[in-house]
Amino acid sequence: MVDIKKELNDKQYLAAAKLKGPLLIIAGAGSGKTRMITYRIAHMLDNGIHQSNILALTFTNKAAREMEERVKSLTSKKLTNLTVSTFHAFGVQILKESITNIGYSENFSIYDQTDKMSAIKESARELNISPDVLDIYEVANLFSSIKTKRDIWNDNNISFQPLYNEYQEYLVNHNAVDFDDLIVLPVKLFVENPDILKGYQLKYQYIMVDEFQDTSLTQYNLISQLAMKNRNICVVGDDDQSIYSWRGANYQNIIKFETDFPELNEIKLEQNYRSTENILAAANSLISNNTNRKEKELWTGIGQGKSIEIFYPENESNEADFISEMIKSFHQSEKLKYHDFGVLIRTNNLSAIIENSFLAENIPYKVSGGQSFFQRKEIKDIIAYLRILNNPDDDINFLRILNMPRRGLGKATLLKIREIALEKECSLHAAATELRWNGDSPLSDKIQSSLQEFIDMIQDYREMLEDEDINKTKMIRDLIETINYWGYLVIEHQKNEKLAKWKYKNIGIFIELFEKWEKNPDNKDKDLGTYLNRITLLTRDDDEDGDNGQVNLMTIHASKGLEFEYVFLAGVENNIIPHARSIEENPDNIEEERRLFYVAITRAKQKLFMTSCKTRKIRFEIVDTGPSPFLEEIPKELISFHTPVANVKDEEALDYFEQMKSKFN
């Protein structure tokens, strides 16, 4: 039994012990919301609630994994039927079980952002719309908003409606879903099939949602449908930490929740267990500049702590070196482990230079967030093959592999295949198969036999995939050999053999990861499609485990819910935070940028450092930058400002204080 009374404060205990009925917890950063949920689950299990009746939804895969691990270790149970997952992963699970009820088949493909844009381009082609008149990125965003009901057709966008319909049809025809569908389709499934909904309501009798402020309207619809019957739903969040509005997150859901579940209990958590007074005061002062907040108290018993420090490096490489130096010296002097440090950045492109500096200084680090390992081109190439084996109707991936590696099947061949596909209303793969059998083929002998070889190869591997006795890891290895991907890489990167080798090494890592999954005894569903769908949802670092002595480098978005003893916030400059693009899009976004800053500050337990460069290289130019205006919103007495540090590398001989002195003289 877990003694939750001992491990939680009174308020937390109240929330964790109340297992029935709707529960709303809105509380500030570090007030132990996630901890409460974790113990609440353990408490449920101790009280005889069956693990399979519990559903806990978190925001990131990493958060899900951590919560699950924590519950397992608290209860010392194996818990293979406990569902702790992200909304999207949960959606995939439902679709996997029930998608045939809404006109798709089980081997559906998930299209990520890139695939989605390709699919839009393809749809445009079918409607004879030239893709260059479209801003595909914009269009993709519009379609996402339409699909999730964040936007409706109006005079400005109605011209895209035919394309939208075509795109939708394209997805259905090719048995593919996009990220939005992962939430929208389950909702549709439930609306159209009350019996199926009933089944899920019976299964998931106890629901918990962490980071509720960052759920979207459709996500809310999904869980409210599930919870409607049993009404055992506990949501936890902080409106001040809502930082995903650009993806449809809407903290108005809190108000919706209050109306939909009027009998709810609201519990406030007001003690912060994470940060020092100084850090908390800075965060509170900053965020008070936002309007429309839910008022919250937040205090800490941890003590005043040390002051926040701001440094002004000359440029971004000095900034990176400075951070490295600081981390190194604290690592030695303060008995801190490397994993006690978090280095937070607003945009991914700031990471490269900091990584380089860590490498040069031999500081172990890991990067999370940003492009996933599985989004890398070389990995996506291999995945495309596997997708086709799993779902041959998947045209987007068929297009990707048709002439990769080059096998002479280029524009002209594709045109022929397209003609047949159009005529027979079938997928490209089916059309190509047709063409292959065609006696009086319009293709040259050489092309014809190349096509034949290609189609036969797919067929062979599809048979191997079906065969339960065949080890799939070996099959993938074989496949990569057969297509001679290494040869392809060598040709593609003739002038850069190192790059080719590196990419091939990544392929090796991919195979190892797959093997680990295939061999995992806890893994009940060894379907390749399941694996592929799972990995499309992962972000960088999601698949690694533990924080074994590595500095954590990540975007602020990715740091949500985490904490570090020492936090370095880099690039605290105007136009970075708040980001120029964000403000450009809509000046009101300043509030979300401020929340972002708030999230960043509140990750720190003991100490917060910020750096603001005087100049920064943006693309090719060096531009003068100014400090972030948010710094003005933090009381001066909480901060030690350090006069701009000179170039550390050039003036290593100069003691730091000497530099300061010389500045004053």
Ligand X SMILES: Nc1ncnc2c1ncn2[C@@H]1O[C@H](COP(=O)(O)OP(=O)(O)OP(=O)(O)O)[C@@H](O)[C@H]1O
Partner DNA sequence: GGGTTGCTTATTTTT
Partner DNA sequence: TAAGCAACCC
In the bound complex, what is the minimum distance in angstroms from residue 271's beta carbon to ligand X?
7
CA 50 to CA 416: how far, in whole Å? 57
The active-site residue, picked from 66, 68, 115, 211, is 211
Closest distance between DNA and the C-beta of residue 119, in Å?
13
CB-nearer residue toward ligand X: 60 or 625: 60
Q: Which regions of 514-663 does DSSP assign to beta strands (E)?
A: 551-555, 564-569, 604-611, 615-618, 621-624, 639-641
The catalytic residue among 12, 34, 86, 213 is 34
Closer CB to DNA, 349 or 640, in the complex: 349
- One-letter amino acid of 400: R
603 is catalytic: yes
44 vs 120 by CB, closer to ligand X: 44
Considering the complex, state which of residue 426 and residue 590 has its C-beta at the smaller distance from DNA: 590
347 binds, among ligand X, DNA, none (CB under 5 to 8 A by kind): DNA
Strands 615-618 and 621-624: antiparallel
Catalytic annotation, pick one of 115, 122, 210, 543: 210
**Comparison of 343 and 363: residue with beta carbon closer to ligand X:** 343
- The question of whether 541 is a catalytic residue gets the answer no
Dump the DSSP string for 154-208.
-TTTGGGHHHHHHHHHHHHHTTEEETTHHHHHHHHHHHH-HHHHHHHHHH--EEE
Least distance CB 13 / ligand X (angstroms): 9
CB 597 → DNA: shortest distance, Å?
A: 12
Q: Binding partner of residue 585 among DNA, ligand X, none, CB under 5 to 8 Å per kind?
A: DNA
Quote the CA–CA distance of 634 and 348 in Å, as a whole number: 25
Could you give the angle at the alpha carbon of 370 between the alpha carbons of 368 and 371, nearest 5°? 115
What is the rounded CA–CA span in Å between residue 71 and residue 50?
14
| Binding site partner of 88, from ligand X, DNA, none, Cβ cut-off 5-8 A by kind | DNA
Q: CA 10, CA 7: separation in Å to the nearest integer?
A: 10
Q: Annotated catalytic, 591?
A: no
Report d(CA 609, CA 307) in Å as an integer: 9
Site residues (vs DNA, CB under 7 A): 59-61, 86-89, 112-113, 132, 135-138, 179, 243, 246-247, 346-349, 369-370, 372, 377, 403, 406-413, 447, 491, 499, 537-539, 542, 555, 557-558, 579, 581-582, 585, 619-620
CB 241 → ligand X: shortest distance, Å? 6
- Structure tokens of 468? 């339960």
Q: How far from each other are the two terminal CA atoms of the chain, in whole angstroms?
A: 66
Q: Report in angstroms the alpha-carbon separations of 30 from 67, 270, 279, 352.
A: 16, 9, 12, 30
What is the smallest separation between the CB atom of 60 and ligand X, expressed in angstroms? 11
- Report, in Å, the least distance between residue 306 CB and DNA: 29
Residue 320 near residue 648, CB atoms below 8 Å: no
Taking the least distance from each CB to DNA, the nearer of 420 and 475 is 420
> Token pair for residue 257?
């929740």
Picking from 372, 382, 414, the residue whose alpha carbon sits closest to that of residue 122 is 414
Specify whether 530 is catalytic.
no
Kind plus residue range of the DSSP H or E element containing 437: helix 428-437
For 127, the token pair is 């409607």
Q: Which does 409 bind (CB under 5 to 8 A by kind): ligand X, DNA, none?
A: DNA
Please state the length of the chain: 665
Question: Residue 31 binds what, of ligand X, DNA, none (CB under 5 to 8 Å, by partner type)?
Answer: ligand X
Q: In which residue are the tokens 């902080």 written?
A: 238
d(CA 417, CA 434): 9
In angstroms, give the least distance from the CB of 406 to DNA.
Answer: 4
Determine whether 625 is an active site residue. Answer: no
Complex with ligand X: residue 207 or 298, whichever CB lies closer:
298
Q: Where are the alpha helices (DSSP H) in 537-586?
A: 580-585
75 binds, among ligand X, DNA, none (CB under 5 to 8 A by kind): none
Tell me if residue 33 is catalytic: yes
Q: Closest distance between ligand X and the C-beta of residue 220, in Å?
A: 19
- Residue 359 touches which of ligand X, DNA, none (Cβ within 5-8 Å per kind): none
Q: Which does 135 bind (CB under 5 to 8 A by kind): DNA, ligand X, none?
A: DNA
Residues making contact with ligand X (CB under 6 A): 8-9, 12, 29-35, 238, 241, 273-274, 561, 563, 602
Catalytic residue among 201, 205, 241, 300: 241
Closest residue to ligand X, judged by C-beta, is: 32
Nearer to ligand X, 75 or 221 (CB): 75
Question: Is residue 117 classed exposed, middle or buried when 0-12, 13-18 and 19+ CB atoms within 10 A define those classes?
Answer: middle
* Closer Cβ to DNA, 276 or 351, answer by number: 351
- 241-273 CB burial, b ≥16 within 10 A, e <16: bbbbbeebbbbebbeebeebbeebeebbbebbb
Would you say 14 and 267 are in contact if contact means Cβ atoms under 8 Å apart? Answer: yes
Catalytic pick among 33, 70, 400, 595 = 33
Q: What does 434 interact with, of DNA, ligand X, none (CB < 5 to 8 A by kind)?
A: none
Q: Hey, which residues are catalytic here?
A: 33-34, 210-211, 241, 603
